Structure 1
Amino acid sequence: MTAARFVLYPAIDILGGRCVRLFKGDYAAKTEYSEDPVAVARQWCESGATFLHVVDLDGAKQGQSVNRDVIEGIVEAAKSYGAQVEVGGGIRTSDAIEDWLACGVARVVIGTASRNVEQMAVWVSEFGADRLVAGLDGRDGKLAVDGWIEQTDTPILELAKALYEAGVRHALVTDVERDGTLSGANLDLAASVEGIGLHAIASGGIRDEEDVIAAMQRGISGAVAGKSLYAGKLDLKRVLTRLAEGERTC
């Protein structure tokens, strides 16, 4: 596997058209940070972000896109800064993938539908491995689906191996129990997925600059920062500078 440049993805989670953060994936435990997610996207891009991680939380629960207009605005805003966007939340069909890619999204995150390994293999052939991210989200190492509402008994690492063999090359690895808690990311799980051969993006619990640097030092391909940015625990411009310096000294 070719080494991937470490990428820090600022998260923009959208519920009812607004920028929010959930606590451990609980829709009833949300904190609203902005009425204007597009303005938030511009803020992160102005701080140097090159790739945004956008989630349609309504879409994740309903199984289809709900906040498309807002997300299209984010894509256009990011494009004006030369930044890219990956989108997740309710993307479960070929048409949905094709629609998002057509509107300028660089990658789509497939969560619930990633359990269907044969279908994922078809999508890799149809859209290319670099346009798809398998959403390996769960609790205690087991997959959670349908907006994290349904907890399955499927081992995340077992599914990761099957997806890698099917041609998938990118995975978002979220420890739901840590998401929105600022308790530290599950880097062991993300590193295990990376070791299988997937470019793993660690998500859930990133609390500060040291967590981000630790993810890079573990050889993980990326990390998603959400609440740490919104709560002022992580200075995006500073950590991006430090990451760039770290890469130059490697």
Structure 2
Amino acid sequence: MILYPAIDLKDGQCVRLLRGDMDKATVFGEDPAAQALAFQKAGCDWLHLVDLNGAFAGAPVNAAAVEAILAATEVPAQLGGGIRDMATIEMWLGKGLARVILGTVAVENPDLVREAARAFPGRIAVGIDARKGRVATKGWAEETDVMATDLAKSFEDAGVSAIIYTDIDRDGAMAGPNVAATEALARAVSIPVIASGGVSSLADLTALRATGAIAGAISGRALYDGAIDLAEALALLKD
């Protein structure tokens, strides 16, 4: 199971939100590239980047910070937030991102996901963010009647490389991930599922790995708060 350290970008800074609320942002660093480099030095295999402003704006906002991270590091990075058309997908992949994450557009324009996955094999992921099983879009500001599992299943034949599943009620709350819901989703589809939201201890990582079904986990606040030591967690997962 791969551990993805998260760098959430708001106004060019590294922040963490509580349950996706932009008004409840804790700033953890002024230099995202330095933070990314620190994660790389600790031994991570991937980086998970989110353009929070972009998720609300519907277009890239923290591009300078993302480009600085890509210039400073060598490990592959995936990015979500504000990526809603083919031109933006092509732009980011051209700048060196290993993978882009399509969230809102996966609900509103699923054909774009399919087109992008065909055009860029292995480089398109779908972000599914849910409250009580129902998908939320536009930076989690809008809730839909679409069920997370139904959305995931709809991309089974699309060539999507991964699904990042976030339980919004757990995100940034340091209350542990929703292991049962994430495992159920992972067992419902053949696409690799990455858990996000609430991963706050080595025990959480152990529980996710123990399912035998979950391909990865994303952690942010716990790494900044020191609740998880990244090097220790990576060693645990390599055992």
TM-score interval (norm. to shorter): over 0.9
Is 1:76 the counterpart of 2:64? The answer is no
CA offsets per residue over residues 32-61 of structure 1, 9 Å max, x none? 010111111011111111100000001001
Cα distance between partner residues in 1 of 2:67 and 2:183: 32
Where in structure 2 are there 5+ consecutive unaligned residues?
none
CA offsets per residue over residues 117-168 of structure 1, 9 Å max, x none? 322211111111x101100001000001001111111100001100113332
CA offsets per residue over residues 19-41 of structure 1, 9 Å max, x none? 00000000001100101111110
Matches within 5 A, 1:51-90: 51-79=46-74, 83-90=75-82
Please name the residue that 2:217 is paired with. 223
Cα distance between partner residues in 1 of 2:142 and 2:16: 19
Cα distance between partner residues in 2 of 1:194 and 1:224: 15
Is 1:34 the counterpart of 2:29? The answer is yes
**Shift of residue 169 of structure 1?**
3.5
- Runs of 4+ residues over 6 Å off in structure 1: none
Cα distance between partner residues in 2 of 1:223 and 1:143: 19
Of 25-34 and 190-199, more deviation after overlay is shown by 190-199
Is 1:235 the counterpart of 2:229? The answer is yes
Query: What is the TM-score with the length of structure 2 in the denominator?
Result: 0.96
Matches within 5 A, 1:1-250: 6-79=1-74, 83-115=75-107, 116-128=109-121, 130-195=122-187, 196-219=189-212, 220-245=214-239
Cα distance between partner residues in 1 of 2:97 and 2:209: 25
Amino acid at match of 1:151: E
User: Which secondary structure state, in structure 2, belongs to the residue aligned with residue 165 of structure 1?
Assistant: coil
Where in structure 1 are there 5+ consecutive unaligned residues?
1-5, 246-250
RMSD: 1.0
- Identical counterparts, % of pairs: 39
